[in-house]
Amino acid sequence: MAKHERGLRFQPTGGSRAPQIPVGKKQRLTIERLANDGRGIVFFEGRTWFVNGALAGEEIEARVLGAHGKIVEARTERVLKASELRRPAPCAHFGRCGGCSVQHLPHDEQLALKQRMLAEQLTRVAGVEPQEWAAPLSGPEFGYRRRARVAVRWDAKAKQLEVGFRAVASQDIVAVDDCPVLVQALQPIMQRLPNMLRRLSKPQALGHVELFSGSSIAVLLRHMAPLSEADLQVLKEFCTFHDAQLWLHGEGQPEPVEPGQALGFRLAAWDLELAYRPGDFVQVNAGVNDAMVAQALEWLAPKAEERVLDLFCGLGNFALPLAKQVREVVAVEGVQAMVERAAQNAVSNNLHNVQFFQADLSQPLTDAEWAKQGFSAVLLDPPRDGALEVVRKLATLGAKRLVYVSCNPATLARDTVELVKQGYRLKRAGILDMFPQTAHVEAMALFEAG
């Protein structure tokens, strides 16, 4: 048997590997510009640093959160020379909590950042610019979030229950009892929630808590073991005090403790009430959602005699307002449970000119029976992955107008390439400020054929 020559096979062919940067190392940096996610960027000693909480032109001291290859992720520890744009962060947890990343930037500058991100994606990826830029669609910068997931974890070493939100770039939990982006109705619940949960007898069995505020307020508790009668009583009393529904999520689906209770939200401009259950997708910003629906309908300009297609329809957020304006709406969603609830929402609102179908929207639509009659206009609101397979065949449906609501400018730009190939022109685009204090960008685009 040949002798193994250890140490030769994996020797480098030349040069030397740069030493790894340890987590926790502090480094003085001058920020060059902002990345698309709102972090500061600086190129330093052959590496690209992404720094949370920093602004362009600032001199800061950064602490390393992690490093891989030539990418270093860090957070701002001290601002040595501040940008003129910097404002004091309104939340005491800023910089540690991972929920809001750009509170140190004034709201108008946040909007400008998001506008640049959208424009850059459309120009760089699709090579297009809209014929008209729409003004940003925005609402209050605080007190807007009507739904939140609260992290809960038992720390066995410290023998205490941690309650709050996930930390920046970490699974650690930041204790938060005052969150300024939550709607006012959820603030008292958030403040008293940690103490209530610590009274429960099996904190190790708690998963997470979700808070909802719509036509009703609700608290949902995820638990991995049965709750004792005493614990259930504590939860009931807490929810009674806050005039909130109690929902439990053990085995199976979430269920209300009081049978027959339902959650919902209103679309007041259309006199609609939409029911939903925990786990269903709903927009967290009610004010911007209402404005978004109104703008989508205005841009789509549906006529009374038209047949309109709504793709990724969810619970009927766009489909039901559309049904009040046109002859027929066909609404399609990938999740069967959502299709069933959307159909029930139509019935409960006395709308009978909208049909809901389940379909795999990652696949082309041309074989679907409901697609064969064609449509005058199409509205789509896909998830972050976009709608590449769907848009590749949209021209075959005969739609002259298309409104695309996007939660990811990168996939909107990619899908725009396909739409332009099919003869659509980008008439109008603008951002939707669904998540103030974050760098998350939502957008709306109007395409017209010809």
Tell me the C-alpha distance between 448 and 428, whole Å: 10
pLDDT band at 358 (very low <50, low <70, confident <90, very high): very high
- Find all residues with CB under 8 Å of 164, minimum gap 6, and list them: 97, 150, 151, 173, 174, 175, 176, 177, 194
pLDDT number for residue 351: 98
Note whether 402 and 377 are within 8 A (CB): yes
- Find all residues with CB under 8 Å of 167, minimum gap 6, and list them: 96, 97, 98, 173, 174
Tell me the C-alpha distance between 357 and 370, whole Å: 8
pLDDT number for residue 6: 41
Q: What are phi and psi of 345, to 5 degrees?
A: -60, -40
pLDDT band at 336 (very low <50, low <70, confident <90, very high): very high
Tell me the C-alpha distance between 290 and 398, whole Å: 28
Tell me the C-alpha distance between 152 and 219, whole Å: 14
313 labelled binding-site residue: no
Neighbours of 55 (CB within 10 A): 23
pLDDT number for residue 3: 41
Q: What are phi and psi of 411, to 5 degrees?
A: -75, -30
pLDDT number for residue 20: 82
239 labelled binding-site residue: no
* The pLDDT of residue 85 is above 50: yes
3-state secondary structure the chain: CCCCCCCCCCCCCCCCCCCCCCCCCEEEEECCEECCCCCEEEEECCEEEEEECCCCCCEEEEEEEEEECCEEEEEEEEEEECCCCCCCCCCCCECCECCCCCCCCCHHHHHHHHHHHHHHHHHHHHCCCCCEECCCECCCCCCCECEEEEEEEEECCCCEEEEEEEECCCCCEEECCCCCCECHHHHHHHHHHHHHHCCCCCHHHEEEEEEEECCCEEEEEEECCCCCHHHHHHHHHHHHHCCCEEEEECCCCCEECCCCCCEEEEEHHHCEEEEECCCCCCCCEHHHHHHHHHHHHHHHCCCCCCEEEEECCCCCCCHHHHHCCCCEEEEEECCHHHHHHHHHHHHHCCCCCEEEEECCCCCCCCCCHHHCCCCCEEEECCCCCCCHHHHCCHHHHCCCEEEEEECCHHHHHHHHHHHHHCCEEEEEEEEECCCCCCCCCEEEEEEEEC
Query: Is 239 noted as a catalytic residue in this protein?
Result: no
312 labelled binding-site residue: yes
- Most confident range (mean pLDDT) of 169-178, 357-366, 423-432 is 423-432
* The pLDDT of residue 449 is above 70: yes
pLDDT band at 11 (very low <50, low <70, confident <90, very high): very low
pLDDT band at 362 (very low <50, low <70, confident <90, very high): confident
Compute the C-alpha angle 42/48/52, nearest 5°: 60
Sheet holding 59-68, edge to edge: 26-30, 59-68, 71-81, 47-52, 40-44, 33-34
* The pLDDT of residue 2 is above 70: no
177 labelled binding-site residue: no
Average pLDDT over residues 95-114: 93
pLDDT in tens, 381-402: 999 999 999 999 888 899 999 9
pLDDT number for residue 17: 60
* The pLDDT of residue 10 is above 80: no
Catalytic residue among 196, 313, 342, 407: 407
* The pLDDT of residue 5 is above 80: no
142 labelled binding-site residue: no
- Find all residues with CB under 8 Å of 98, minimum gap 6, and list them: 165, 166, 167, 168, 169, 170, 174
Selected residue with higher pLDDT from 10 and 54: 54
pTM of the entire predicted model: 0.91
Note whether 394 and 422 are within 8 A (CB): yes
317 labelled binding-site residue: yes
pLDDT band at 319 (very low <50, low <70, confident <90, very high): very high
What's the chain's average pLDDT?
93
pLDDT band at 81 (very low <50, low <70, confident <90, very high): very high
Average pLDDT over residues 156-174: 90
pLDDT in tens, 430-446: 999 999 999 999 999 99
Average pLDDT over residues 207-233: 96
pLDDT number for residue 428: 98
204 labelled binding-site residue: no
Tell me the C-alpha distance between 439 and 434, whole Å: 10
Selected residue with higher pLDDT from 368 and 421: 421
Average pLDDT over residues 108-121: 96
pLDDT number for residue 243: 97
Tell me the C-alpha distance between 267 and 372, whole Å: 31
Tell me the C-alpha distance between 195 and 8, whole Å: 60
Tell me the C-alpha distance between 331 and 342, whole Å: 9
